[in-house]
């Protein structure tokens, strides 16, 4: 552009000099006329050059404007893409994909084949593997919320996928070792490692995806999301059960010889497929965002008990912009964020909601969380029929999904009623289903298929109800991650206690079906207590509470306020003393920064 301006100025200057020569005359007419003729011959060339330069400049301007327009379009498209990825619904879908690709293949692998998965050989190896699973399961629950809140759900979900891949790989190695005796020693060590890694990853993965499944969905869709999560976990089990039914049906058929049915080769292929699916789970895990970057739908403040408008929702952007301006302090150190996380974890450990939820988890963990442990009286007639047992398992899983869907969509998502009323309706239905389950268990005329159908309906309904209550106790994603992690730690502690009890007390499992009846009643009572004490009929979200429970924002806010307070105190003291030195101010600021180590009482 500067070159174009210079060209125009030169052209104008030449024209001016030419006019001056013509008006001012010359000392010789011949010379004057000759100069005018020469200049007249040069003018078309100069005009053509100026027009060419102008065309070039216009072309350049057009190209620049086009490039700017394309860049602005790319920026808008990138912002739109980020905005779509930051939607609460998209994050919920990503979390569901992570769950179905991690937990699902491992659970399906344990149900494929007539043996129900590959197992270690030898009592010592089994004890070591079980001890590692229980110990690392408790540890994973304790650190799950910390990893999800400090390092982000992306790191938590990625580690969960890698841990489950180790477990599936160990299972595949065990299947291979079953055919080669020389690999059994190495497969035993790898199996212990894979089981321990997966146990550690369970709590971390659950804490990472819990906010996306329990806090991001809106009030009228939370029950449906819970049902989808249970479907994601159960769908691979249904596929494995269907495979077992087909295999057992072919084996029992007189037209197909058992030798022609590739039952022994199926686990190896299934292990390979499950391993690939588990590794694929690392891809959607990369799209999980921190809760502060997610746009969610919340109920407004007028959706309180006594108000009729329970369906009014608004969209809320949870951004960290107040800490990202030019005057904002630098991001807090990892040590400060860890101290903040420990501080809030201690608060949650002393909360009433965690105590009541733990009282629900303890009986659930002890009896396995399924009333199928009741065992129908008619089961003895089908003990030797592999086809009947496989078909009953398939019926249980299919009806389980139906029960979870019925509870989530029909009862728990019915926003025409307050939350506590919906929970009471669910409790009443569960009580009726429990009575029917007991009747079906102790009447021999009821077939095994009918008994397992009612078992699946009860279990699916109760699991969906429990997860919905867990999401209804708090709308803060950081608190939700810590709570889920601690509940997993309690779950593994109860399993550890039961395992030790079975090793040291004889005939403990003999009365499990009777003990489970009382534990199921206790679970229903405690679920009602959680509804009465911890569930409120509002989905309002307090951003201040979010900043306090977010370790990154809380640590940065405390660090900034502490530095500013110390700097202001130093300035005031210098003014009183008559000295205004920068050295004392910087020293005070450094002291204030070092004093942040005791910010949370450690």
379: which 2 tokens? 């089961």
Q: Are residues 387 and 520 in the same domain?
A: yes
**Overall domain count for the chain:** 2
DSSP string covering 521-551: HHHHHHHHHHHHHH--S-----HHHHHHH-H
What percentage of the chain exceeds 70 in pLDDT? 60
Per-residue pLDDT band for 432 (boundaries 50, 70, 90) equals: very high
> Does residue 329 form part of some domain?
no
- For residues 362 and 382, membership in a common domain is answered with yes
Backbone torsions φ then ψ of 511, nearest 5 degrees: -110, 20
| Contact by Cβ (8 Å): 566, 589 | yes
Mean confidence (pLDDT) of the chain: 72
Q: Are residues 71 and 124 in the same domain?
A: no
Among 130-144, 167-181, 247-261, the range of highest mean pLDDT: 130-144
Q: Give the pLDDT band (50/70/90) at residue 25.
A: very low
In a domain, 117, yes or no: yes
| Closest to 205 in 3D by CA, of 150, 141, 296, 151 | 141
What's the confidence (pLDDT) of residue 542? 43
The gap from C-alpha 401 to its chain's centroid, in whole angstroms, comes to 21
Please give the backbone phi and psi of residue 524, each rounded to the nearest 5 degrees, phi first: -65, -40
pLDDT of residue 132: 86
63 plus 95 within the same structural domain: no
Confidence of residue 297 (pLDDT cuts 50, 70, 90): low
Q: What percentage of the chain carries pLDDT values higher than 90?
A: 25
Q: Is residue 579 situated within a structural domain? A: no
Residues 47 and 105 occupy one common structural domain = no
pLDDT tens column, 223-238: 999 999 999 889 888 9
pLDDT of residue 396: 94
**Phi, psi at residue 299, to the nearest 5°?**
-75, 145
Q: Which residues contact 454 (CB under 8 A, 6 or more apart)?
A: 399, 433, 436, 437, 440
Residues 461, 406: contact at Cβ < 8 Å? Answer: yes
> What is the model's pTM?
0.71
Domain residues for the domain of 520 are 86-298+351-548
Whether 305 and 97 have beta carbons less than 8 Å apart is answered as no
The per-type count for the chain, helices as H runs and strands as E runs, is 19, 2
Average pLDDT over residues 390-401: 92
The average pLDDT across 112-123 equals 51
In a domain, 326, yes or no: no
In this structure, the answer to whether residues 56 and 106 fall within a common structural domain is no
Which is more confidently placed, 220 or 45?
220
Q: What is the pLDDT of residue 106?
A: 79
Contacts of 73 by beta carbon, 8 Å cutoff, 6+ apart: none
Which is more confident, 291 or 205?
Answer: 205
Average confidence (pLDDT) over 70-95: 64
Q: What would the pLDDT profile of 41-70 be if each residue is shown by its tens digit? A: 556 666 666 666 666 565 656 655 655 555
The reply to whether 93 and 157 lie within a common domain is yes
Least confident of 16-20, 153-157, 227-231, 498-502: 16-20
State how far the Cα of 439 lies from the Cα of 274, in Å rounded to an integer.
Answer: 39
Domain CATH code at residue 478: 1.20.1250.20
pLDDT at 55: 60
**Residue 131 falls within a domain, yes or no?**
yes
Which ranges of 121-183 would DSSP assign to H, the alpha helix? 123-146, 153-179
Report the pLDDT value the prediction gives residue 447, as an integer from 0 to 100: 82
């Amino acid at each position: 552009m500067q070159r174009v301006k210079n060209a125009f100025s030169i052209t104008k200057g030449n024209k001016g000099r030419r006019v001056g020569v013509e008006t001012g005359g010359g000392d010789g007419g011949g010379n004057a006329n000759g100069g005018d003729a020469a200049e007249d011959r040069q003018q078309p060339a100069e005009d053509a050059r100026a027009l060419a330069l102008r065309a070039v400049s216009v072309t350049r301007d057009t190209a620049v404007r086009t490039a700017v327009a394309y860049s602005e379009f790319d920026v808008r498209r990138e912002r739109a893409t980020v905005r779509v990825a930051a939607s609460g619904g998209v994050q919920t879908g990503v979390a569901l994909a992570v769950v179905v690709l991690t937990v699902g293949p491992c659970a399906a692998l344990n149900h494929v084949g007539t043996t129900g998965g590959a197992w270690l050989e030898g009592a010592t190896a089994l004890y070591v593997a079980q001890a590692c699973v229980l110990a690392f399961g408790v540890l994973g629950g304790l650190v799950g919320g910390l990893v999800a809140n400090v390092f982000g759900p992306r790191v938590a979900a990625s580690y969960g996928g890698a841990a489950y891949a180790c477990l599936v790989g160990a299972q595949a190695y065990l299947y291979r070792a079953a055919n080669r005796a020389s690999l059994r020693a190495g497969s035993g060590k790898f199996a212990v490692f894979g089981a321990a890694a997966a146990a550690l990853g369970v709590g971390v993965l659950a804490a990472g995806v819990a906010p996306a499944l329990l806090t991001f969905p809106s009030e009228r869709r939370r029950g449906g999301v819970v049902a989808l999560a249970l479907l994601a976990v159960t769908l691979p089990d249904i596929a494995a059960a269907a495979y077992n039914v087909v295999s057992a049906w072919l084996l029992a058929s007189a037209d197909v010889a058992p030798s022609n049915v590739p039952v022994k080769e199926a686990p190896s292929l299934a292990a390979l497929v499950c391993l690939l699916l588990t590794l694929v789970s690392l891809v959607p895990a990369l799209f999980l965002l921190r809760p502060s970057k997610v746009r969610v739908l919340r109920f407004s403040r007028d959706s309180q008990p006594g108000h009729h408008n329970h369906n009014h929702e608004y969209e809320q952007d949870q951004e960290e912009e107040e800490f990202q301006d030019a005057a904002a302090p630098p991001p807090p150190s990892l040590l400060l964020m860890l101290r903040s996380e420990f501080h809030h974890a201690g608060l949650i450990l002393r909360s009433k909601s965690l105590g009541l939820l733990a009282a629900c988890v303890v009986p659930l963990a002890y009896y396995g969380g399924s009333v199928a442990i009741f065992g129908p009286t008619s089961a003895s007639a089908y003990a030797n029929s592999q086809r009947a047992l496989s078909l009953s398992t398939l019926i249980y899983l299919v009806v389980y999904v139906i029960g979870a869907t019925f509870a989530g969509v029909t009862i728990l998502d019915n926003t025409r009623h307050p939350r506590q009323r919906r929970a009471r309706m669910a409790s009443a239905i569960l009580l009726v289903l429990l009575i029917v389950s007991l009747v079906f268990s102790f009447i021999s005329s009821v077939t095994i298929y009918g008994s397992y159908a009612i078992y699946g309906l009860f279990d699916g309904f109760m699991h969906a109800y429990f997860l919905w209550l867990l999401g209804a106790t708090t709308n803060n994603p950081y608190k939700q991650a810590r709570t889920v992690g601690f509940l997993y730690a309690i779950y593994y502690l109860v399993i550890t206690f039961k395992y030790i009890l079975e090793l040291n007390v004889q005939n403990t499992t003999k009365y499990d079906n009777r003990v489970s009846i009382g534990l199921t009643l206790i679970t229903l009572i405690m679920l009602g207590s959680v509804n009465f004490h911890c569930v409120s009929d509002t989905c309002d979200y307090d951003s201040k509470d979010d900043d306090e429970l977010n370790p990154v924002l809380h640590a940065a806010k405390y660090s900034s306020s502490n530095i500013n307070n110390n700097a202001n105190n130093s300035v005031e003291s210098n003014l009183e003393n008559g000295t205004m030195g920068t050295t004392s101010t910087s020293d005070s600021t450094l002291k204030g920064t070092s004093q942040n180590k005791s910010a949370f009482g450690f």
